[in-house]
Amino acid sequence: MPKSSRTSHLAHDRRLIVAALTGLLATGFAACAARNGGPQPANVAAPTSAADDRQAVLLFRRKVEDYAALHRRLARSMPTVSAQASPADVHAQELAFEKLIASERRSSNAGDLFIVEIQPLIRRVAGELLSGQAGAPLLDTIKEESTEGRASARVNARYPDSVPLSSVPAQLLAALPALPEELEYRFVGRDLILLDTKARLVADVMPLVLPR
């Protein structure tokens, strides 16, 4: 990865950890309020320590970087498609690439990239940004495009060509751990996925991340 890209990702992850610390304080205050009979916010994951969050981000980054390295290695083995190639040829190349990655990852399961260590942090970040009156507009935007009822996400499966890709609000992207360029966060229904955009392959699925 270029030095400038590594520096950008490190800065992004520092901001994420600071945000996580803020969330931990808010969660702590909420827990105190609950013990004193006060209300608890909805969709807040169980608290973790700052050290846990830092370690989780590092472990997650290693997993997605390993995937990116596999993607790049397999991409180099594919025949080159010329700039004059027809859309059909480009699509055939994409399908071949998707099948090649799926074959290499045929033993993959949900949680191989979305490791258990990172899931509480992602759920907490999503819950804090998308819950309540302030988060309602962002949540509505995601739900309008998240293909609920029209597609299901399975690890190592192709994202349906007939289903448009959902957008993820910039505020949420800025709060989630940075990804290598080979992967993107997307929503399918309430599930968060890691999508290999060049292969249109679902690299991993984290279920029920979106609040209701």
Would the pLDDT of 142 be above 90? no
Nearest to 184 by CA among 198, 171, 175: 198
> Within a domain: residue 212?
no
**Sorting pLDDT into bands at 50, 70 and 90, what band is 150?**
low
Q: Do 97 and 112 contact (CB within 8 A), yes or no?
A: no
> Within a domain: residue 211?
no
> Within a domain: residue 110?
yes
Would the pLDDT of 83 be above 50? yes
Among left, alpha and beta (phi > 0; psi -120 to 50; other), residue 15 is: alpha
Dist. CA 139–CA 40, nearest whole Å: 20
Instruction: Say which residue, 34 or 134, is predicted with more confidence.
Output: 134
pLDDT of residue 147: 60
Mean pLDDT of all residues in 70-91: 93
> Within a domain: residue 63?
yes
Mean pLDDT of all residues in 159-171: 86
> Within a domain: residue 8?
yes
- Domain that includes residue 113, residue range: 3-206
Q: Please give the mean pLDDT across all residues of the chain.
A: 82
Instruction: Say which residue, 68 or 24, is predicted with more confidence.
Output: 68
Q: Do 187 and 180 contact (CB within 8 A), yes or no?
A: no
> Within a domain: residue 54?
yes
> Within a domain: residue 139?
yes
* pTM (2 d.p.): 0.76
> How many domains are there within the chain?
1
Per DSSP, the three-state class of 188 is strand
> Within a domain: residue 18?
yes
